[in-house]
Amino acid sequence: MTTGDVKLIGSWASVFVMRARIALNLKSISYEFLQETFGSKSELLLKSNPVYKKMPVLIHADKPVCESNIIVQYIDETWSSSEPSILPSHPYDRAIARLWAAYIDDKWFIALRSILTAQGEEKKKAGIAQVEEGTDILEKAFNDCSKGKPFFNGDHIGYLDIALGSFLGWWRVVELDANHKLLDETKTPSLFKWAERFCNDPAVKPLMPETAKLAEYAKKLFPNLQA
């Protein structure tokens, strides 16, 4: 789709940047991807996001939009005539999707990251237990939200699918580091099947990083990772 001047500042490895890229792909929006260099912040990034000074930043018609979930909502509203709709159509369903997206970022993600930053096996085990507890909760949320359909949003990928699915690459890296399966076909069968569908969707598949490549990148961020 011809959309005018659309740019996205970010990194291939960032969960939060991936959210914006998936949303753009879903809407078939062409854009210029401005890759940030690891360990530094470009002048454009600092100028475009002076408050948080972090990616992603969507620049549309020379106006910056910051924060991944806000960007996803902006994309859905700006190109509302382009299918599919990312946010649920009913206000209550939108509120529930936003609630669970906040839970993922504020609770579940913090537990997942704690496994990579843990000093010692006991703390790592505690992080694993927290992630598994949270994943059990998200399994129930999926069954409630999807109503028997393939995605949280129903028949196609939506807001909550993007919020959780963007973590799947790092989810695998954490499993490697912990030597422990966190997304289990027996314990959370619905999420397990959802993850396969999500990763194979045409809007997602080209963006999902290879686990080995992402694991190497993770060593730069978390020096205490297992070899």
Q: Could you give the dihedral angle defined by the CA atoms of residues 43, 32, 168 and 203, in that order, rounded to the nearest 10 degrees?
A: 160
Which residue intervals of 147-203 are DSSP H helices? 159-165, 168-178, 189-200
Q: What pLDDT, in 10s, does the model give residues 63-75?
A: 999 999 999 999 9
Cα-atom radius of gyration of the chain, to the nearest Å?
17
Q: What pLDDT, in 10s, does the model give residues 179-223?
A: 999 999 999 999 999 999 999 999 999 999 999 999 999 988 887
Extended beta strands in the chain, E state: 6-10, 32-35, 57-60, 63-66
pLDDT of residue 225: 65
pLDDT of residue 223: 75
pLDDT of residue 24: 98
Mean pLDDT of 162-168: 98
Tell me which long-range contacts 82-89 makes (C-beta under 8 A, separation of at least 24). 82/1, 82/27, 82/28, 82/29, 84/26, 84/156, 84/157, 84/158, 85/158, 86/23, 86/26, 86/27, 86/153, 86/157, 86/158, 86/159, 86/162, 87/158, 87/159, 88/153, 88/154, 88/158, 88/159
pLDDT of residue 222: 84
pTM (predicted TM-score): 0.95
Tell me which long-range contacts 121-124 makes (C-beta under 8 A, separation of at least 24). 124/178
Mean pLDDT of 155-162: 98
Domain boundary assignment for the chain:
6-79, 91-221
pLDDT of residue 200: 98
Q: What pLDDT, in 10s, does the model give residues 8-31?
A: 999 999 999 999 999 999 999 999
Given a cut of 60, whether residue 145 has pLDDT beyond it is yes
> What Cα–Cα distance (Å) separates residue 46 from each residue in 15, 43, 57, 66, 211?
20, 5, 10, 11, 30
Rounded Cα–Cα distance for residues 83 and 163 (Å): 19
Q: How many CB atoms lie within 10 A of CB 74?
A: 17
By the 8 A CB rule, do 22 and 166 touch?
A: yes
CATH architecture of 6-79: 3-Layer(aba) Sandwich (3.40)
Q: Per CATH, which fold does 91-221 belong to?
A: Glutathione S-transferase Yfyf (Class Pi); Chain A, domain 2 (1.20.1050)
**pLDDT-above-70 percentage for the chain:** 96
